[in-house]
Structure 1
Amino acid sequence: MLDLTYDSPKPKVIAGAKHDWELVIGMEVHAQVSTNAKLFSGASTKFGAEPNSNVAFVDAGMPGMLPVINEECVAQAVRTGLGLKAEIHLNSAFDRKNYFYPDLPQGYQISQLYHPIVGEGEVLVELGDGTARTVRIERIHLEQDAGKSIHDMDPNMSFVDLNRTGVALMEIVSRPDIRGPEEAAAYIAKLRQIMRYLGTCDGNMQNGNLRADVNVSICRPGAYEKYMATQDFSHLGTRCEIKNMNSMRFIQQAIMIEAERQIRIVEGGGKVDQETRLYDPDKNETRSMRSKEEAHDYRYFPDPDLLPLEIEQAWVDEIAGKLPELPDAKKARFIDSFGLSDYDASVLTADAESAAYFEAV
């Protein structure tokens, strides 16, 4: 197989009024697991059903209802981890993350803070100009989705749809290795491509099945290299998180707008506050949503209704043996076997269906 080599892309540099600044970006991608049933109930995950029709008693937070783990959700998380060359943890556990939303009837979200099912991995992000960057994956954990609050159906009332409540999500957390808005979009596209090849997430961003929280900070040139040498975050600027982004274009716009906002604050002698922000595409601005919570704010504790999750290495090996050929390997094989250019191979392997059609004819 042909060994593809790339140059590392240069970081995005933004000229401020006084100094040049570089971007540092980390991402938390929420990918809806492709299964017929939810993470802890047998309720359907079908999109577009009548409001509140795909809701089991446990999803609605009814007293005395106990969660039961969906094995296929666990298998899909393992497949995703293997596809990202990540460590699979044979022992993991679920925690309760306590907070209030009107569309979170239990009053907590079942997640995996302390013991995630998938550990460190990586993904190669190609930019199409002969450059690529390896983005490190810190972890992947399973968690429940919340429901949906609807505010535009009545001028005086809001409505709640619990169909999405309890649907399984994989939260894929990257290291702060992304250095520009184009890289951020390419990273999302590559994750989406890999998961679609694996069949673990359909990647439908319009339906909210793939969305991202984008952590943006700025630093002076050379500071990131100091961070990489020491893994000391003090070399980087204070990060702000932009929540629930589900558009490649808006992700890029929001990153630039937020970076420019931080530069104005710092060069004006101010201090960037760590907080969660929302992006308004109509006004092309980010605005404060809330101060950034820490783990203790959510009062995490082990979920008393769920035993620690233990899986066998033989089961993981069985899943690994059935994985399809993934995009990077397929692209390299197309170049090596068919003499295709890097660009042509990238186009043909962009999705599994196109690649299969090409090979068939």
Structure 2
Amino acid sequence: MEYDVVIGIEIHCELKTKSKMFSSSPVSFGQTANSCVNEIDLGHPGTMPCVNKGAVEQAIKACTALHLEIDPVLKFDRKNYYYADLPKGFQITQQFYPIGKNGYIEIETSKGKKKVRINRIHMEEDTAKQFHLNDGTLIDFNRAGTPLIEIVSEPDMTNGEEAAAYVEALRQTLYYLGVSDVKMEEGSMRCDVNISLMPKGATEYGVKNEIKNLNSISNVQKAIDFEISRQSKILDEGGIIEQATRRFDEATKSTILMRLKEGNVDYKFFPEPNIVPIRLENAWIKQIQDSLPELPEARKNRYAVEYGLSAYDINVLIANKELSEFYEEIMKTCKNAKLACNWTITELQAWLSKNNITLQECKAKPQDIAEMVNMIENGIISGKQAKEVFEDVMKGSSPSKIVEEKGLKQVSDTSLIEALIKETLDEQPQSIEDYRNGKDRAVGFLVGQVMKKSKGQANPAMTNQMIVEELNKRIK
């Protein structure tokens, strides 16, 4: 039987702030367990929450970039949740009045662009982190109280590819905004996927299963693809899908049952009594919105128009904000956008990977790479010579100084190249005969011989053209 697949995604994203959502404790990652907490995080009696203005500002940026309507009245609710990772026995969230609602984001799929609606964005505090051992559970409260936004999509996705594209589009947008590190491997961005199947053409949704805490975009797609297959098989065999929470196992590339659900949990939400409603000034909201940086979609369009790059090149650059900004610095003094792009996304990234360092750690300056690319463009050095120059540029040296010291300047003197060509042809009569018989590879061989004689300094393109001209004279 054919099925329609219905997918909705909830994304929890930690906001990039110095302190927590309702306390002055520092936000940190990788610090000593329970070293970044205070009385509010630990739920001590008599402590009062205080809203983090910076977190609200970050949430407004996210809402604006994702086209959501912003509620100018900030209200919080209490979610009663008695569990070890919430010491005070409840979570402060925004159940009834989210800061933003009714937005969307456009994603790129193999079938073209698609708009995925966003139901809401609400603010809340994160829980503590638990470490389950064989003989007990350890809790680190450093994460407790970290500011979060939860982004809830509408069930607009129909396969793993679309879901992965949606998560990647959100990740890029939030990253460019600077509202979050969006490091899924560190837990600063976490995905819960809801998926259900229904007979083709049906209007009533099937029973959903939730896949919790997916920690990479590739795992989002793999988990969904597996779950579609699993649920399809059960339905084809006449079985019933039970509402459940599952997790993705990377080793087996499958989803594993965590627990069954018998309906929605009643968290007994009610307005948070310790935080009065806060009216946000329209001028303040507008000031935040007017200061948004350039977003990925706008940058993609600009690269296509301003630099004439291909969709592939643009996507590679945009996927890495630091790399994109490095390329922009190169282009401030570089003439050839495509050539600069090739060196940036291929040679530069390969060198960083080979040497196991980040772009921020390398000593190369964008203007030096621009100078090197201009040297290639102007025929001062060849592409082959540039590879040798590039190695030293990546160590912090100046291209012009490298070319001067190593004698790498490309020879474009036609009289000198002509003399080398005639000398080579006189030594290689068989190559002339091969060319006469239509064997074009003879030209490449002769170019190589001239390059040897010039110690690699002859202009390859000019040499190739002049050899062909000389050969045509000799075979007449």
TM-score (norm 2): 0.67
Q: Which has the larger radius of gyration?
A: 2
Secondary structure of the residue aligned to 1:110 is: strand
Q: Deviations over 1:159-205 (max 9, x none)?
A: 11111000011100000111111111111111110011000011111
Partner of 2:282: 313
Secondary structure of the residue aligned to 1:261 is: helix
2:220 aligned with 1:239, yes or no? no
2:184 aligned with 1:202, yes or no? no
Report the CA distance between 1:335 and its aligned residue: 0.7
Give 4+ residue runs of structure 1 displaced > 6 Å after superposition. none
Matches within 5 A, 1:1-361: 19-127=1-109, 129=110, 131-152=112-133, 155-223=134-202, 234-283=203-252, 284-291=254-261, 293-294=263-264, 297-361=266-330
Q: For the residues of structure 2 that align with 1:201 and 1:125, how far apart are their CA atoms? A: 20
Secondary structure of the residue aligned to 1:170 is: strand
Q: Which structure is richer in relative contact order (CA contacts within 8 A, separation 6 or more)?
A: 1
Report the CA distance between 1:130 and its aligned residue: 6.0
Report the CA distance between 1:292 and its aligned residue: 5.8
Task: Indicate if the aligned counterparts of 2:211 and 2:255 stay in contact, CA closer than 8 A.
Answer: no
Pair 37,175 (structure 1): closer, same or farther in 2 beyond 3 Å = same
Q: For the residues of structure 2 that align with 1:293 and 1:77, how far apart are their CA atoms? A: 31
Task: Indicate if the aligned counterparts of 1:29 and 1:173 stay in contact, CA closer than 8 A.
Answer: yes
Which sections of structure 2, spanning at least 5 residues, go unmatched?
A: 331-476
Give the letter for the 1:105 counterpart: P
Give the letter for the 2:317 counterpart: L
RMSD of the alignment, in Å? Answer: 1.6
Secondary structure of the residue aligned to 1:334 is: helix
Q: For the residues of structure 1 that align with 2:268 and 2:224, how far apart are their CA atoms? A: 30
Q: Deviations over 1:31-86 (max 9, x none)?
A: 00010100000101111111111111011000000000000000000000111111
Report the CA distance between 1:351 and its aligned residue: 3.0
Secondary structure of the residue aligned to 2:275 is: coil
Pair 219,290 (structure 1): closer, same or farther in 2 beyond 3 Å = closer
Secondary structure of the residue aligned to 1:119 is: strand
Matched-pair identity in %: 41
Report the CA distance between 1:293 and its aligned residue: 5.0
Give the letter for the 1:275 counterpart: A
Task: Indicate if the aligned counterparts of 1:81 and 1:87 stay in contact, CA closer than 8 A.
Answer: yes
Report the CA distance between 1:134 and its aligned residue: 0.9
Q: For the residues of structure 2 that align with 1:40 and 1:110, how far apart are their CA atoms? A: 9
Q: For the residues of structure 2 that align with 1:156 and 1:237, how far apart are their CA atoms? A: 39
Give the letter for the 2:326 counterpart: Y
Task: Indicate if the aligned counterparts of 2:243 and 2:260 stay in contact, CA closer than 8 A.
Answer: no
Q: For the residues of structure 2 that align with 1:162 and 1:21, how far apart are their CA atoms? A: 44
Report the CA distance between 1:209 and its aligned residue: 0.5
Give the letter for the 2:2 counterpart: D
Task: Indicate if the aligned counterparts of 1:25 and 1:217 stay in contact, CA closer than 8 A.
Answer: yes
Task: Indicate if the aligned counterparts of 2:182 and 2:189 stay in contact, CA closer than 8 A.
Answer: yes
Q: For the residues of structure 2 that align with 1:102 and 1:58, how far apart are their CA atoms? A: 15
Give the letter for the 2:20 counterpart: K
Task: Indicate if the aligned counterparts of 1:276 and 1:292 stay in contact, CA closer than 8 A.
Answer: no
Q: For the residues of structure 1 that align with 2:319 and 2:251, how far apart are their CA atoms? A: 31
Report the CA distance between 1:264 and its aligned residue: 2.7
Give the letter for the 1:75 counterpart: E
- Deviating more after overlay: 271-280 vs 54-63: 271-280
Task: Indicate if the aligned counterparts of 1:279 and 1:287 stay in contact, CA closer than 8 A.
Answer: no
Secondary structure of the residue aligned to 1:201 is: coil
Q: For the residues of structure 2 that align with 1:280 and 1:334, how far apart are their CA atoms? A: 39
Pair 123,91 (structure 1): closer, same or farther in 2 beyond 3 Å = same
Task: Indicate if the aligned counterparts of 1:278 and 1:289 stay in contact, CA closer than 8 A.
Answer: no
Q: For the residues of structure 2 that align with 1:44 and 1:34, how far apart are their CA atoms? A: 11
Which sections of structure 1, spanning at least 5 residues, go unmatched?
A: 1-18, 224-233
